[in-house]
Structure 1
Amino acid sequence: MRWRENGRNRSKSFTSKADAQRFEGDVRRSRELGRPLDIDRGKELLSEFVETWWRRHVVPNLAKNTRDSYGPTWEKHIRRRLGGYRLRDITPGIVDQFKADLITAGAGPSVVHKALVILSGMFTCAVKWDHVERNPVDAIKVPTPKRARYVRPLPPATVEALRGQLLVQGRLLDATLVSVLAYAGLRPEEARALQ
């Protein structure tokens, strides 16, 4: 198959006539739509694309704690299994096998969840930046990690009794903190970050 693209003569060989005709249809369709036919699209390895994704999306958009948790998950679970694949070669079947491999290796639901969320985020950006046509993780059911323990909030009467004791002792800030924790639902680490 021979065609002209960006002022250059291009060619591509096929082993079957049907494949060549299908590709010729793609060339015609891209011309009609006015978009370039990029046969090198998605050729980069996932391990190469992660650097672009990290620089263009993760650093400017995600909190430091999220970035700090993404790095080890990428290194330990994703890079070894999928880093050597070209972006365009990662299919829903490969992602489903990746998920099964993580579970077989003993990864818990939260690890599987995080790995698939990271992978999906990468492919969402790859689609947005025209590296690939679709996100293969969209077809996979991402497990929701179960809460390790059930949170049992204190009844309001108990909260008010605690607050009352603190107010009697003149500890106004402590009483306020108890109210914020009990009624706003903040976790202790979130409350410590308040100013």
Structure 2
Amino acid sequence: MRCTSKISVKTAEMPRPRLELGTWGRITRKEIAENRWRARARFRDFTGKTRQREAYGASGAKAERNLLRALRSEVDSAGDSIAGSTTVTALSKLWLADPDLTENCTAQTVERYTDSLNRHVLPALGEYMLMEVTVSRVDRFLRNLAAATPGNAKTARSVLNGMFKLAVRHDAIRSNPVRDVRLPAKPKQPVAAMSVDEVGALREGLRAWQDGVGYRGPRRGSDLLDVVDVMLATGLRISEVLALRWGDVDLRDQPTLTVSGTLVYLKKNGLLRQSHTKTSSGFRILTLPAFAVEVLLRRSVEAIPTETNAVFPSGKGTWKWPNNYRRTLRAALKDIESDGQISPHVFRKSVATLIDAEATLEAAAAVLGHSGTSVTAKHYIKKATAAPDMSEILDRFGKNRNEKDG
């Protein structure tokens, strides 16, 4: 007779995984009375303690929504703490106050980033928790934005990249979802630059328009052509030219011009002169060619003292708005039926192209205020592609060309 016995083995329950800071577990719903539901979840706060959190509503779904709203609010209000459950909106506020941004970016850049957040990033992603922001979600958002306005997409990517770098630094997420997102490449446009002869023809047309010769309207003053001449003599940006003060110009023995600031627009302050250039390498002293010295000498004699001491002041003696100058230039170009591609930046590219052709690329970069030559070569120098030398091969087509017909 066989004896059998049952052996019961009690399996130990696996402990529940510990919640990360600022996160919660599974939400349960329970109807506790007619039209009254309770939603409950375990929540681990930023002190490390896990507690029950609950909220109520007329239905299970409403109770859960109320609980989620309360949990997210608690996470977002936890000072500078960042967790996976922090919303993109809450992260944006911490990022805008982060010294890494405020101490390394100009006020104009911070304002541009804030505008991008309010207009594009937060309406699309603001309510997502950081743990919900995936590479594909960011990719979809940026590609849709790029299809409409590539420039806005580029700024939005910079904003998101900076925000999620901050989240990674705080261990809220393991990797930056923006890092692997690439914006669609823009078709490469040829560099637009003018030749010496084209500049001469343009100058004649602008002078006639400015003097009212052959064009309707009164004389328009000398500012339009004078600014063009200074740009062609220096390669300055329009915002740098209009920020020039007489203290930046030295017309003695070897006339020079010091580039020490630029005009910027801030919503809080309006148009103002920023007392530093776009980059540190932009602070430079340029030797002036004779035609620019002639322009500036004349203007110095005619100058009326103003509070700004600007070389090219507005009619009221304040800083001249770059956009107003661009508008006047466009009107003149339209009237003289010039190439619609001409803009203040084309003059800057023309300067770079001429210096590169007659001197060196390094000299062109230094005049433009670039820290290296790569940007100058890629975006500012107009060059034809050099084809390989196939002249000996093609010379075969010339065989018997000089033989007379028999």
CA RMSD of aligned residues (A): 3.8
Aligned residue in 2 for 1:23 = none
| Of 156, 167, 182, the match for 1:115 | 156
Task: Give the C-alpha shift of residue 114 in structure 1.
Answer: 1.3
Aligned residue in 1 for 2:110 = 67
Letter in 2 for 1:94: R
Letter in 1 for 2:232: A
Contact 2:143 2:184 in 1 (8 A): no
Aligned residue in 2 for 1:90 = 133
Cα gap change, 1:55 to 1:150, in 2 (>3 Å): same
In 2, distance between residues paired with 1:99 and 1:157? 40
Map Cα deviations across residues 87-114 of structure 1 (whole Å, 9 max, x no partner): 12211011112124325xx621111111
Structure possessing the higher relative contact order (Cα contacts under 8 Å, 6 or more residues apart): 1
Aligned residue in 1 for 2:89 = 47
| Of 174, 181, 186, the match for 1:133 | 174
Contact 2:87 2:130 in 1 (8 A): yes
In 2, distance between residues paired with 1:107 and 1:123? 24
**When the two structures are superposed, what TM-score results if normalisation uses the length of structure 2?**
0.31
Contact 1:124 1:135 in 2 (8 A): yes
Cα gap change, 1:76 to 1:64, in 2 (>3 Å): same
Letter in 2 for 1:130: D
| Of 226, 235, 240, the match for 1:190 | 240
Map Cα deviations across residues 15-59 of structure 1 (whole Å, 9 max, x no partner): xxxxxxxxxxxxxxxxxxxxxxxxx83221010011110001332
Contact 1:92 1:140 in 2 (8 A): yes
Letter in 2 for 1:185: G
Contact 1:46 1:84 in 2 (8 A): yes
Task: Give the C-alpha shift of residue 135 in structure 1.
Answer: 1.0
In 1, distance between residues paired with 2:198 and 2:141? 50
> After the TM superposition, which residues 170-189 of structure 1 pair with which residues of structure 2 at under 5 Å, given as runs?
178=229, 181-182=231-232, 185-189=235-239
Letter in 2 for 1:73: S
Other structure's SS at 2:103 match: helix
Aligned length: 148
Deviating above 6 A after TM superposition, structure 1's stretches of 4 or more consecutive aligned residues are 146-149
Letter in 1 for 2:90: E
Task: Give the C-alpha shift of residue 187 in structure 1.
Answer: 1.1
Contact 2:88 2:128 in 1 (8 A): yes
Q: Percent identity?
A: 25
Letter in 2 for 1:116: R
Letter in 2 for 1:58: L
In 2, distance between residues paired with 1:110 and 1:130? 31
Give the helix-richer structure, 1 or 2: 1
Other structure's SS at 1:61 match: coil
Letter in 1 for 2:157: L
Task: Give the C-alpha shift of residue 126 in structure 1.
Answer: 2.0
Task: Give the C-alpha shift of residue 192 in structure 1.
Answer: 2.5
In 1, distance between residues paired with 2:90 and 2:142? 21
In 2, distance between residues paired with 1:157 and 1:67? 39
Gaps of 5+ in 2: 1-14, 27-81, 204-224, 249-406
Other structure's SS at 1:132 match: coil
**When the two structures are superposed, what TM-score results if normalisation uses the length of structure 1?**
0.60
Gaps of 5+ in 1: 6-10, 14-39, 163-173
